[in-house]
Amino acid sequence: MITLKDKIDMTRIPQHIAIIMDGNGRWAKQRNLARTEGHKEGAERAFDIANRIFNHWNIPYIETSVKLGVKYLTLYTFSTENWNRPKEEVDGLMELLVDNIIKETPTFHKNNIRFMTIGDNSLLPEKALIKLENCIAETASNTGMTLILALSYSSRWEITEAARRIATKVQSGELMLDDIDDKIVADNLTTANIPDPELLIRTSGELRLSNYLLWQLAYTELYFTDTLWPDFR
């Protein structure tokens, strides 16, 4: 039997895939559900993608990615702009995050997946931050693949912070003005030492980057699908 993996050109597998997981709210609205139910389904989709085993045609994408040689998967989980959403919705998202991190940490470790976050963690509730830090520490030595959540993240925030760090180094004499080049900028981003994505996927039909990895996506292939994130396979 020919499987999906048999049809894939293994010489063209990207090292790093980034995903904008969009459409949870619309998915819920189509079903007359609360937006929080859409986020719950979307979170389950994200962690399914992280952990399940490649089994015939039941293909969760992160575990498949491990087998195909993908080394990094970055999921746009919560933007800095999302803090402007209604408090009830934000609280629900944070609760989902904590619950899923607690549940999935042993599975990440079992599957040799390293867990990381990028973004302004100082804005996160203490409970969520502790669970994130525990998961990061517990999986730090894993080598199969790195799963990165872009959490409380925006590119404008990231680039602004990089500019501040570089300016501080110049002011202190650690760095000369003439030394600043694109590598220096990249080394001061939250994704320092992580290769730029070769493929970006955005679900839900929106044709924009929404302040996501703007520096890193300069040469990335972009794929947009009308499928809402909870329905994405």
Q: What is the set of active-site residues? A: 22, 82
Locate the DSSP E strands across the chain: 16-20, 72-79, 113-118, 145-153, 199-202, 221-224
Residue with tokens 């994704």: 191
> Which amino acid is it at 212?
Y
What is the C-alpha to C-alpha distance for residues 128 and 149, in angstroms, rounded to an integer?
13
What is the C-alpha to C-alpha distance for residues 112 and 13, in angstroms, rounded to an integer?
20
State the angle between helix axes of 35-51 and 61-68 in degrees (0 to 180), rounded to the nearest 10: 30
What is the C-alpha to C-alpha distance for residues 198 and 111, in angstroms, rounded to an integer?
24
What is the C-alpha to C-alpha distance for residues 170 and 176, in angstroms, rounded to an integer?
6
What is the C-alpha to C-alpha distance for residues 28 and 43, in angstroms, rounded to an integer?
13
